[in-house]
Structure 1
């Protein structure tokens, strides 16, 4: 809503007000009479402002317009206690003809550029910036973080005094701060929550235990990520609360006893309940709590802290064994239904696009939301690549992307809210993030909420963003991607992490199963006492035997093929490795050909991630080199 440039009042405030009433056509005898009485009683309006709140609020409907006029013309600062009790939603009529008009016009324009709806813009404008401009008596450019903090404190004081909630005011303060940050007036974005001091989080613990745990957590801050230390604090708190209940007189950590404290705590975890869902905690949660306690006791012992127990109290067998579950990917039909809802019927358009990008690139949610605006890199002759920032394993990576993903990123760039660079949580510098919404970074909760909404719309059960990463990896495995490529795309640092997906749909196991099933059916139809051997063409599919996805051994007079599930044959190349085996010059061509094939088989095993199999072929190559040298020497 455009606001006109203000006209300043004259030195004679009473005359200026009467002139204002004439110009706006709002004058009547009640207004003029109330103004006369007000100025007779308060020649200096500042004297009215120091009256008790009850007196200030007692002004009648004919007197409030003169008070509003004086506030909007920067003559009167009535106090936040008064401003928070006055409804100022109708102030937009008067503000266009006041000195506050240009500042509010600028604020509203910036809020629109950040994507705030008209309803939110006008609600925020009337609740926060109007009151700040009135009470500070300064222009918009001169507002500070201290002004916002003072306003928040006034809201809290009002709730304490009256019992009236102030959450709507705090939400508007947060919105206003984002707009002021966008305009470059303040240098801080509003914080959502923020870390609770360790002393407050561990307040229920006995003082000696609390002091040692706080000292430990402060030390871990030097080497661990803040989220990791926060998780340690949560898990150690459970143990501290348990100690306060079972042994309130415990003097220090050094007095811990395994039979009296540790073993009862381990037993209590079996029946521990998650307060969020009133269900027993998972085995994984039990394991994490025990590991956190074990790490705490081990660390302070190695650091030679005086509070360390004199002997080891927790052992590896005390840690609950975790089930080896397969990745929870989305079946093809579920994947398609979810993608259709996110594409065609998004709730939060930016969050829906973020989920589609996560599914297309297999990102962790933290990596997704840390993507920067310049995350796409064009490499000549190698296409487009997406730079993935530091994530869970503290590694960066580049992954190839296609035109469809480029189009999706272009769409995200078009709908994101533009603004100033924001502090990066890992690199400690300011950055332009890809996912920004209403002047701040898109939150994990917003992404999860959109996924819940989309899943419900698609008729699906509860889903998590990480399942989209599992679905991406599973699709690659089904398409035959190599282990090395899968590790690079997912940002895994060990083959074991990626091999979890290989166990989902092992095409070799499937092929071996089908061959064995066909053979079993054939035997059932045609009884025979002999051993049936499948034709080589049925095993290799007509391809070169060295390229089949089987365990292969090159023998001097032929070759052997076995399914991976069978493992390598214990007798393969047993003769070549026998110390009694000797060769002669006439066998050199056979040994050389065997060595060439062994090298090919070693490379094939390495490409498939079969490290032990590749090492077996390398041992054969080394043995063949010895035999060839002996034969050449005669």
Structure 2
């Protein structure tokens, strides 16, 4: 009987049936893996034969310090490098024979036209960076370890990395967020839809979401309910406070999931009762992504990724005024730089400074005539004096300096007056006196605006000018 299905389909179906029977208690033994992963030797089959043992040995060594997923990704990138070497120099005999001009520079250049095997599109800048990093670390580490066939000199440098794109987090606008939540709430695929609603409500990574276990909710006396997020991308656990809405979701998921025997944890190998199970298997990332695509289409939205729900969660917290330290704890970030991406998205200080400067500018300039095309802050000082401008100001001997508040104080402001090598005499008393008067006014202006450090800077300049004036008058 011809069904149009291949052997892979029937192997997967048979495996799923065995898993269901095992969790129903009919079979005593769990089904083995549906697909056995390729060995490192098989994955490095296209690497030149003389180099293959070093590639395989390196990957086995990395298993001691990296997660299996990290090593698998590393194997993919090194296999690409090995295939490139096999194309341009199939007779290469050792990694020690690698030459920067002959092998490394052409490889880095080739990445600009390398195509993603799945999408058919050129690989992203981030992927190019990861591939160069993988090769660089490979060569550097085997040199540090003293391997005999290691390159005798450094071949890849920091400047070889393409400049990364500093994009802002792709959050969902409020209206789109509400439409998506409504589509997920009406979904017939409750397990995957509720998983996405939990991810949005708690800001989880998709791997963390699917690793949640049945006992993930903890009641702390006097502190309410908390969600325990298991070890994830950064190998760290954390606790997230949750409200009644999340508790209701978890209760509904517990009732919807397929019960069964504990499953083997992919990270530890120990039996675990996962929260998201369906017919003897864990809910897959592809199922979650498929449900998100369906809900987004129903809501009339474009393509949305699960990680955008995490970005939306973090953005909502930033807009609500949560502190950077709290944001780091809630998102599981280990460095401030990771959380600062969200702080840069909507910087309340920049917004308030802009609005204050704009209001002052408008009050001095007056209403903008109809048809005027200049920006509102073009004439920020208006008809008033420069000392009244809503900017960080410094009085200089030959003029003055104006800086936007967002720029902060200039590290070179009035540096000459404080320098031990600075000398003056009585012929400059008039200039020094005028500068002192302005500095006192600028200190008062900064104090009123709440720029305490800026006010102290001007007061320090006044003290220094007093000393210079006294010395000049005495001389």
TM over 0.5: yes
The aligned residue for residue 528 of structure 1 is: 383
* CA separation of 1:167 and 1:380: change in aligned 2, threshold 3 A: same
| TM-fit CA distance, 1:165 | 3.9
1:381-431 CA distance string (max 9 Å, x none): 110000000011110000100011111111111101101111112233211
The SS at the match of 2:170 is: coil
1:328-350 CA distance string (max 9 Å, x none): 11111111111110111x15221
Worse-superposed segment, 263-272 or 289-298: 263-272
Alignment of 1:393 with 2:230, yes or no, is no
The aligned residue for residue 407 of structure 2 is: 566
| TM-fit CA distance, 1:571 | 9.6
Unmatched 5+ stretches in structure 2: 368-381, 393-402, 421-452, 461-475
The aligned residue for residue 420 of structure 1 is: 261
Q: Structure 1 CA distance, aligned partners of 2:248 and 2:101? A: 62
Q: CA RMSD in A?
A: 3.0
The SS at the match of 2:218 is: strand
Q: Structure 1 CA distance, aligned partners of 2:226 and 2:175? A: 29
Q: Is the 8 A contact 2:12 2:34 kept in 1?
A: no
1:9-53 CA distance string (max 9 Å, x none): xxxxxxxxxxxxxxxxxxxxxxxxxxxxxxxxxxxxxxxxxxxxx
The SS at the match of 1:249 is: coil
Q: Is the 8 A contact 2:364 2:384 kept in 1?
A: no
The aligned residue for residue 365 of structure 1 is: 206
Alignment of 1:324 with 2:172, yes or no, is no
| TM-fit CA distance, 1:570 | 5.5
Alignment of 1:227 with 2:69, yes or no, is yes
The aligned residue for residue 217 of structure 1 is: 59
* CA separation of 1:252 and 1:403: change in aligned 2, threshold 3 A: same
Q: Is the 8 A contact 1:342 1:353 kept in 2?
A: yes
The aligned residue for residue 341 of structure 2 is: 500
| TM-fit CA distance, 1:194 | 4.4
TM-score using structure 1 length: 0.59
Which has the larger share of helix? Answer: 1
Match of 2:298 among 447, 457, 461: 457
The aligned residue for residue 405 of structure 1 is: 246
Q: Structure 2 CA distance, aligned partners of 1:357 and 1:388? A: 12
Match of 2:21 among 157, 180, 184: 180
Q: Structure 2 CA distance, aligned partners of 1:204 and 1:188? A: 35
Q: Is the 8 A contact 1:509 1:565 kept in 2?
A: yes
The SS at the match of 2:51 is: helix
| TM-fit CA distance, 1:163 | 10
1:303-340 CA distance string (max 9 Å, x none): 11111011111111111120111111111111111111
Q: Structure 1 CA distance, aligned partners of 2:319 and 2:93? A: 58
Q: Which residues of 2 match residues 173-322 of structure 1 at below 5 A?
A: 173-184=14-25, 185-322=27-164
* CA separation of 1:425 and 1:175: change in aligned 2, threshold 3 A: closer
Identify which of structures 1 and 2 has the higher relative contact order when contacts are C-alpha pairs closer than 8 Å and 6+ apart. Answer: 2
* CA separation of 1:164 and 1:332: change in aligned 2, threshold 3 A: closer
* CA separation of 1:239 and 1:183: change in aligned 2, threshold 3 A: same
Q: Structure 1 CA distance, aligned partners of 2:206 and 2:51? A: 36
Q: Structure 2 CA distance, aligned partners of 1:386 and 1:563? A: 44
Q: Structure 2 CA distance, aligned partners of 1:288 and 1:440? A: 32
Q: Is the 8 A contact 1:455 1:461 kept in 2?
A: yes
Q: Is the 8 A contact 2:314 2:342 kept in 1?
A: yes
Unmatched 5+ stretches in structure 1: 1-84, 86-158, 540-550, 552-561, 580-612, 621-634
The aligned residue for residue 348 of structure 1 is: 189
Q: How many residues align?
A: 398
TM-score using structure 2 length: 0.78
Q: Structure 2 CA distance, aligned partners of 1:379 and 1:176? A: 41
| TM-fit CA distance, 1:164 | 8.0
* CA separation of 1:563 and 1:171: change in aligned 2, threshold 3 A: same
